[in-house]
Amino acid sequence: MLSFPPESGFDELILASGSRYRAELLGRLRLPFRPVAADIDESPLPEESTAALVRRLSREKALHLRRSHPIAAIVGSDQAASLGDEHLGKPGTRTRAIRQLERISGRTVSFHTGLALCLPDRILEAQDVTTVRVRTLSAAEIERYVDAEPAFDCAGSFKCEGLGIGLFDAIESRDPTALIGLPLIALSRLLREAGLAVP
């Protein structure tokens, strides 16, 4: 089990998220951590770009928990998808998922993932952009996928770590974990910068 060095200045690692996907990803680093949901308003600001949105929300999630956990190292992350300049949200329902998949069929979707590591004395930040080229999908393929793997809580209406990978022509990314919701390459770098031995 990892012990936090005294010079690090923090006593625990907190994931500012209630997402099981992010918790599973952070668990890969074999660090002791505690997930705590950060209840903030995630609405985009007027004319805010998707890149700026995830950068702001990642920081706000971590800072929100800083108030009640002043000596912790807090990981905040947020992801949003865009089709051109348009934000793509989580569909929430089967009907919306079908519509979203129809819209992105044959097109390229950008997934922006923000990351903030809030330490007692500073904030370290990173950002990732992953592009997904969706193949041209028939109505039957879309319905078959949605029924087999309902991804109503995922922007883009698919799970790349599951059956959804079959919907793509290509993925272009510096970090394959970013598309799932937490860029572990960048996070490992930030944690090392904070004084932790990773791996």
Per-residue pLDDT at 159 exceeds 60: yes
pTM for the full model? 0.87
78 is annotated as an active-site residue: yes
The catalytic residue among 41, 78, 121, 169 is 78
Per-residue pLDDT at 8 exceeds 70: no
The ranges assigned to domains in the chain are 6-193
123-157 pLDDT, tens digit per residue, is 999 999 999 999 999 999 999 999 999 999 888 89
- Name which CATH class applies to 6-193: alpha beta
Longest Cα separation, the chain: 58
